[in-house]
Amino acid sequence: MNEWVIELRNVSKAYAAHAVLRNINLQVRAGEFLTLLGPSGCGKTTILRLLAGFEPADGGEILIGGQDMRTLPPEQRHVNTVFQSYALFPHLTVFENVAFGPRLKRIRGEALRERVMDTLRMVKLEDFAGRKPGQLSGGQQQRVAIARAVVNQPRVLLLDEPLSALDYKLRKAMQLELKQLQRRLGITFIFVTHDQEEALSMSDRVAVMNAGRIEQFGAPRQIYEAPENLFVARFVGEINNLPGRVVAAAPPRYDIRLHDRVVNLKSPYVFGVGDRVNVLIRPEDVRIWRECEGSAEERAALFPAVVEGVVYKGSTVDLVIRLDSGDVLSTTQFFNEDDQAIVNLDFREGERVFVDWVHDWETILPHEE
């Protein structure tokens, strides 16, 4: 028995001499919302094209529902694609676009009408059945593209950056709708995006990709809070990187020297004394103390710094801080109604401050360039 609806084993693909996918291994559970996240050119769309059958893999196996897909053309696979450009048929009405798949399965007459209209109702387009795609807005075209795919009740729906052409507000709304639709239909979604926020907020699991490889594969929280390498840490959200060196090791705790200070931190990785490491801290985990706060003793354990930039963002204030050691940190301070002292967050550029972070919320990785 196989619990995976999709399985990629050692899949590779190259265009001419340029490798786009290198030894990809990926398993997708039935009903899962999986996101392939990565910068453009990382190979995420190529995975979709291999799954849809538009291109053959150079090596490895692709299984859908346990069945080898190697010789199966796209028209015989139980997957459907929502294209980035929507690729709606411009000469057909919305109804005929959606009816295209069912008609090929010899569904006719009232059964066809019912099925198409049910699907259009689901995406709230029942009143637009007679229109041509060119007469619809971008968001409506997007819905038609989704309806045209899900009407076939595929095992897996492949979505290639389907929201990238929409404006911010519409994108937010569609994210929510897509997620609800996926829960309701129970179809496995494989969603491709370069937007890390979209990936984190929608997916059950995320595969972060770079240069044809999967860098990390896990739940959104794992990806964000415990990145496995510097690429993932940097690509998924903002992060501060403090280079350090291990001076004492008592796994899982290590004394790490960061410039003139030694801090005791925890890590699941095993380091030896003298190893170079990167201490990674999310901007929202950085705490800032002003000169008037705390006693001199308390301050002695903190990193002295100067405020270099202040960006007011409504719900937060982002600061750029230069430590006396020279490292630059970006931080995010939330307005906190309970704390009178920080209510204003009226930092000035050039102001002297003291910095630390919520210990054990950092990530320590072996040094890499």
Partner 1 sequence: MRRKAQGHPVPMRIREPFKLLAVGAIYFWLTAFALLPNLLVVIASVLERGSDEFVAFAFTLDSYRRLLDPLYLGVLLDSLGLAAATTALCLLLGYPFAYLLTRMPVRWRPVLLLLVIIPFWTSSLVRTYAMVILLQTNGWLNQILLGLGLIAEPLELLYTEPAVIAGMLYALLPFMILPLYAALEKLDRRLIEAARDLGAGWITIFRRIILPLTLPGVVAGCMLTFLPGLGMFYVADLLGGAKTMLVGNLIRDQFLSARDWPFGAAASVLLTGLMGLLLWAYYLSSRRAGRGALP
Shortest reach from residue 108's CB to partner 1, in Å: 15
| Choices 8-16, 134-142, 169-177, 273-281; region in contact with partner 1 by CB under 8 A | 134-142
Backbone angles phi, psi at 6, to 5 degrees: -135, 135
Is 85 a binding residue for partner 1 by CB under 8 A? The answer is yes
DSSP symbol at 92:
S
Give me the half-sphere count of Cα atoms (radius 13 Å) on the Cβ side of residue 165: 15
Is 87 a binding residue for partner 1 by CB under 8 A? The answer is yes
Cβ nearer to partner 1, comparing 43 with 53: 53
Cα of first residue to Cα of last residue in the chain, in angstroms, is 43
- Name residues whose C-beta falls within 8 Å of residue 273's C-beta, 6 or more positions apart in sequence: 246, 247, 248, 249
User: Of 90, 161, 156, 162, whose CA–CA distance to 123 is shortest?
Assistant: 162
Is 134 a binding residue for partner 1 by CB under 8 A? The answer is yes
Is 107 a binding residue for partner 1 by CB under 8 A? The answer is no
Cβ nearer to partner 1, comparing 94 with 239: 94
| Choices 85-93, 238-246, 291-299, 325-333; region in contact with partner 1 by CB under 8 A | 85-93
Structural tokens at position 267: 């890590």
Is 104 a binding residue for partner 1 by CB under 8 A? The answer is yes
Is 105 a binding residue for partner 1 by CB under 8 A? The answer is yes
| Choices 13-21, 88-96, 168-176, 284-292; region in contact with partner 1 by CB under 8 A | 88-96
Is 283 a binding residue for partner 1 by CB under 8 A? The answer is no
Shortest reach from residue 33's CB to partner 1, in Å: 20
Give me the half-sphere count of Cα atoms (radius 13 Å) on the Cβ side of residue 35: 29
Shortest reach from residue 81's CB to partner 1, in Å: 5
| Strands 67-68 and 59-64, sheet pairing | antiparallel
| Choices 96-104, 176-184, 221-229, 334-342; region in contact with partner 1 by CB under 8 A | 96-104
> What does the radius of gyration of the chain's CA atoms come to, in whole angstroms?
25
Cis status of the peptide bond prior to 56, with omega within 30 of 0: no
Is 88 a binding residue for partner 1 by CB under 8 A? The answer is yes
**Within 10 Å of residue 122's Cβ, how many Cβ atoms?**
18
Beta carbons of 53 and 77 less than 8 angstroms apart: yes
Is 91 a binding residue for partner 1 by CB under 8 A? The answer is yes
Cα–Cα distance, 209 to 231 (Å, whole number): 9
Is 314 a binding residue for partner 1 by CB under 8 A? The answer is no
Residues 24-83 interacting with partner 1 (rule: CB under 8 A):
52-54, 73-76, 79-81, 83
Q: Which residue has the tokens 């415990």?
A: 226
Beta carbons of 143 and 124 less than 8 angstroms apart: yes
Size of the site for partner 1 (CB under 8 A): 31
Beta carbons of 240 and 281 less than 8 angstroms apart: yes
Shortest reach from residue 87's CB to partner 1, in Å: 4
Is 276 a binding residue for partner 1 by CB under 8 A? The answer is no
DSSP symbol at 284:
G
Using DSSP, state whether 197 is helix, strand or coil. Answer: helix
Please count the helices (runs of H) and the strands (runs of E) in the chain.
9, 20
Is 141 a binding residue for partner 1 by CB under 8 A? The answer is yes
Cβ nearer to partner 1, comparing 187 with 279: 187
Residues 152-191 interacting with partner 1 (rule: CB under 8 A):
152
**Candidate list 38, 43, 133, 212; residue touching partner 1; CB under 8 A:** 133
Cα–Cα distance, 121 to 127 (Å, whole number): 9
**Candidate list 113, 131, 172, 257; residue touching partner 1; CB under 8 A:** 131
Shortest reach from residue 288's CB to partner 1, in Å: 48
Residues that bind partner 1 (CB under 8 A): 52-54, 73-76, 79-81, 83, 85, 87-91, 100-101, 104-105, 131-135, 138, 141, 148-149, 152
